[in-house]
Amino acid sequence: MQTVKPVYGAHGIKILEKGAKLTPGLYERLVQHHPTTPLEDSVEIDAAVNGKNLRAAGEELLNRTPVLARMADRTLLLDCLEAVPLPTAIVFQLTVVRDVHPEQFRYFVATALITVWLANRPQATRKELVLAAAAGLLHDLGMMHIDPVLLQPRTKISREQRRQLYSHPLVSVLLLERHTEYPPEMLRAIREHHEVLDGSGYPGGLSGNAISPWGRILSLAQVVAALVKPGRSHAALRLSVLLRTNRHRFDAPLVDRLLPLLQQMAEENTEPGGIDNPVPDPVGSLLRIQQALLDWPAALALDAKLTAARRNGLAFIGDRCARILRTLVESGASSEQLQNLDQDAITGLLADELSLITRELAWQLRALQRETRRRWSLAANEQLPEALAQWIDQVEAACTGLIHHGSAEAAPADAGA
């Protein structure tokens, strides 16, 4: 890339002359100066993103990513990706993503392919599938306009950075809505791509039928794309466990389309060795998680001395505990099911699966612990009720050592829980 006219920053100060060549590092610094000149009008790009090289990128991903390679209608997926409408300003932004953040670009392309695959029903028209590809490809453009540190894995973020993260679907819509090529239903899906059925998503906290059909597809597609990237070990098993332990978050018919494919791949287990960092005693850990859920102090929600907000918050946490208990049963990991297992038989695929279930449910339980603190909202010099404080300590003991970047937290920040 090189500038075709000068670029000006705040207060009219020239920050780049005409003819300046942009390297990835220079581009990053340029964005931090918040130029007043629209960059897409100021920069000429060689080998910009277009339909043909998008198709080539999609084909490479299909060849390199085992889960994607199993998806049917390969030609249809690539045809829809190649046909995505790309106004000049969007071409510029996608090209920057490809050249400055190549991993993020591959994630965009993977999301587009998966979105088309999930949207491909007998009643779907070709136009709808092309727009589904566009939604998947462009849903995270807003991430390119927030603090770059949020694109780095294993990054602890501040409250202000979390606000930026939660606003990025809205930023994506702002970047796209001035282009008539993109209809309102596509923009709505992009706005909803981090909304989940139980209402725990963002930015609107929508639940159930308040999330559009396209929004449900994109919400699932972006999670799948994040977890099956090339080189990720045992991706099919990890994704299968994630979906089975989060059925309350995603559209059931869509999940049911994916699970048979994933479970077949997990059973074939063509990868040598097991998962990294298996849980030493998954059965014991799962029993401790279940006991913590059973010990939730439900009677507090009935205490008339508490404010309505606190009682409602406690009832909410109680409902979530019951939901995770149901997940344990559905995953084959309730105490009764675990006690029927022959401990000597917990090897290979079963051991890997139990380890992943343990880490995922520990992550959910720890998230519930944080939500409990947030909803109680201690006043100055106030202490938690003894029963609630004991439960929080019990959760901490049950989860210690179980949560790392092999669980749901491994998804990139934009795909995250």
| Final residue belonging to a domain, choices 219, 252, 271 | 271
| Higher pLDDT pick, 404 / 318 | 318
Please give the backbone phi and psi of residue 359, each rounded to the nearest 5 degrees, phi first: -65, -40
316: left (phi over 0), alpha (psi -120 to 50) or beta: alpha
What's the average model confidence in pLDDT over 70-82? Answer: 96
Based on the fold, state whether residues 14 and 147 are members of the same structural domain: no
Q: Same structural domain for residues 243 and 146? A: yes
Percent of the chain with pLDDT over 90: 64
- Do residues 341 and 222 share a domain? no
Cβ–Cβ under 8 Å, residues 368 and 325: no
**What is the predicted pLDDT for the residue at 410?**
37
In the prediction, which pLDDT does 233 show? 86
Neighbours of 339 (CB within 10 A): 9
Calculate ∠ Cα 251-120-115, nearest 5°.
60
Residues 341 and 196 in one domain: no
3-state secondary structure the chain: CEECCCEECHHHCEEECCCCECCHHHHHHHHHCCCCCCHHHHEECCCCCCHHHHHHHHHHHHHHCHHHHCCCCHHHHHHHHHCCCCCHHHHHHHHHHHHHCHHHHHHHHHHHHHHHHHHCCCCCCHHHHHHHHHHHHHCCHHHHHCCHHHHCCCCCCCHHHHHHHHHHHHHHHHHHCCCCCCCHHHHHHHHCCCCCCCCCCCCCCCCHHHCCHHHHHHHHHHHHHHHCCCCCCCHHHHHHHHHHCCCCCCCHHHHHHHHHHHHHHHHHCCCCCCCCCCCCCHHHHHHHHHHHHHCCCHHHHHCCCCCHHHHHHHHHHHHHHHHHHHHHHHCCCCHHHHHCCCHHHCCHHHHHHHHHHHHHHHHHHHHHHHHHHHHHCCCCCCCCCHHHHHHHHHHHHHHCCCCCCCCHHHCCHHHCC
408 within domain boundaries: no
Residue 20 lies in a domain: yes
Please state, in angstroms and rounded to a whole number, the distance separating the CA atoms of residues 389 and 185.
Answer: 46
pLDDT at 137 over 50: yes
**From CA 379, how far away is CA 371, in angstroms rounded?**
16
154, part of any domain: yes
Which of the listed residues 236, 271, 306 is the one where a domain comes to its end? 271
Does residue 351 fall inside a structural domain?
yes
The more confident residue out of 151 and 326 is: 326
What's the CATH number where 165 sits? 1.10.3210.10
Q: What is the pLDDT at residue 352?
A: 92
Residues 231 and 303 in one domain: no
Residue 156 has pLDDT above 70, yes or no: yes
- Residues 91, 124, single domain; the answer is yes
**Which has the closest alpha carbon to 40: 119, 168, 144?**
144
Say whether pLDDT at 34 is over 60: yes
What pTM was estimated for this model as a whole? 0.84
How far apart (Å, rounded) are the C-alpha atoms in residues 113 and 68? 8
Digit-coded pLDDT (tens) for 218-270: 999 999 999 998 888 899 999 999 999 999 999 999 999 999 999 899 888 77
- pLDDT greater at residue 273 or residue 98: 98
In a domain, 234, yes or no: yes
Q: Is residue 318 within 8 Å of 302, Cβ to Cβ?
A: no
In whole angstroms, how large is the CA radius of gyration of the chain?
A: 23
Whether 18 and 3 have beta carbons less than 8 Å apart is answered as yes
Quick one: 286 and 265 in the same domain?
no
Number of domains within the chain: 3
**pLDDT at residue 334 tops 50:** yes
Structure confidence at residue 404 as a pLDDT band (50, 70, 90): low
Q: What does the block give as tokens for 82?
A: 């190649």
- With 50 as the cut, is the pLDDT of residue 406 above it? no
- Same domain? For 373 and 234 the reply is no
Q: Are residues 10 and 117 in the same domain?
A: no
Q: Are 92 and 136 in contact (CB under 8 A)?
A: no
In this prediction, residue 47 carries a pLDDT of: 86
Are 156 and 39 contained in the same domain?
Answer: no
User: Could you give the C-alpha distances from 390 to 27, 295, 386, 387, 394, in angstroms and in order?
Assistant: 51, 10, 6, 5, 6
pLDDT the model gives residue 41 = 74
Residues 341 and 393 in one domain: yes
| Domain housing 366 | 282-401
When mean pLDDT is compared across 180-184, 240-244, 275-279, 383-387, the lowest value belongs to: 275-279
In terms of domains, do 178 and 115 share one?
yes
Residue 416, in any domain of the structure: no
Residue 409 belongs to some domain of the structure: no
Q: Is residue 414 one of the residues assigned to a domain?
A: no
Using the 3D structure, point to which of 248, 271, 294 is the last residue of a domain: 271
Name the token pair of 123. Answer: 């009643």
CA terminus-to-terminus distance, the chain: 36
pLDDT at 408 over 70: no
Cα 328 from chain centroid (whole Å): 22
Please, are residues 296 and 318 in contact by the beta-carbon 8 Å criterion?
A: yes
